[in-house]
Amino acid sequence: MSIPSLRNWKLIPFGPTQMKRMSDNTTTTLLSSSSNHHPSEPRVYVRKKRVKKNLEISAGDEEELKPQQPIQYNRLSGLPDIEDFTYKKTRKLAQLRKSESTSGSHVPDAGVSPILRTVKPPVNWEKVLEGIRKMRSFEDAPVDSMGCEKAGSSLPPKERRFAVLISSLLSSQTKDNVNHGAIQRLLENDLLTADSIEKADEDTIKSMIYPVGFYTRKASNMKKIANICLSKYDGDIPSTLENLLQLPGIGPKMAHLVMNVGWNNVQGICVDTHVHRICNRLGWVSRKGTNQKTKSPEETRESLERWLPKEEWVPINPLLVGFGQTICTPLRPQCGKCSITDLCPSAFKEASSPKSTPRKSQKRNNLS
């Protein structure tokens, strides 16, 4: 398949198609500097070299990779300042509800269900959130979560939704700039609709999205998703959580993200590993009917949804992800830099160096 609009792009020769050819030992023609290629070397080594080259060259093409219209992001929420996004509206309504709750008047709902608290919220949770927001406004976090909402925000709704879905798929385990590059390439090549992906060759898709994490599987999932969207949803994306989860490569985390960003329909909290970890450290979630920590992000989501007011369901993700990348890190959390340690039951409880003595019941694999 020829890809005319990308002919000038130097990125193209470094896709997986060429990797295949290299391992076949049949081609060096597509590689701009084939002198670096040693067919006898282990595949991994060759790959790593080429990734470096890829990055050098893409840096030179920065101009082309940049989005034409940069989107403004809310620094704290991590969400785009797009007019139709319901976040602000939701906030406003929540404030209204609060101020008018004494008079008993009813505030109309903007597609957000009434707050359903089945569990008493943890004490000081609002102070904790406020503290994290403040820290986030000082620290710069590479928040790669929610990176998908920028996908095709200038497109018509249906195309935009499809772009959001594909971007979500690609964004997992992938740095935001890498994901963005992949989306940009797909967009440049008109490969961001169900129709075109359905027609495109899987190897072409692979080379477009390379080097996002797990690109082989994701390319194959993209084909399957395009197929399903065309046959069952007229080229649009599923509009319910249940049906999104039926798509290959879309699990609970991404399904909630797509519902939030793609449909502006908040069905649940988008819980990733950061939200999962931090909520447990704060003692915000527990296994049903116990005080034990939750075991999985899904369990965390259910537990968190039992008390967290709904207007916080969307912003909690970018907030905690950024916090988790800079301060409340998985390994050796920077409690010294944290301003809410007096409100955190886990503050200074974890090892500050890998060599330090493991506390009792710290790790399950202490074979002392």
Partner DNA sequence: GTCCAGAGAG
Partner DNA sequence: CTCTCCGGAC
What residues line the site for DNA (CB under 7 A)?
16, 47-48, 51, 54-55, 145, 172-173, 210-211, 213-217, 247-255, 272-274, 295, 297, 330-331
In the complex, minimum distance from the CB of residue 153 to DNA, in angstroms, rounded to a whole number: 21
Helix (H, G, I), strand (E, B) or coil at 234: coil
**CA 78/CA 230 separation, integer angstroms:** 32
Closest CA to 206 of 179, 230, 182, 228: 182
Task: Spell out the residues 6+ positions from residue 238 whose beta carbon is closer than 8 angstroms to its own.
Answer: 229, 232, 244, 246, 247
CA distance 239 to 254: 13
Residue 62: burial class (beta carbons within 10 Å; 0-12, 13-18, 19+): exposed
Smallest distance from DNA to CB 197, Å = 17
Question: Residue 256 Cβ, how far from DNA at the closest point, in Å?
Answer: 8
Residue whose CB is less far from DNA, 1 or 331: 331
d(CA 368, CA 338): 32
Catalytic residue numbers, as ranges: 253
Specify the residue, 16 or 238, whose C-beta has the smaller distance to DNA: 16
Residue with Cβ nearer DNA (90 or 132): 132
Query: Minimal distance in Å, beta carbon 4 to DNA?
Result: 26
Q: What are the φ/ψ torsions at residue 73 (nearest 5 degrees)?
A: -115, 145
Instruction: Give CA–CA dist 348/252, Å, rounded.
Output: 32
Q: Which is nearer to DNA, 98 or 295 (CB)?
A: 295
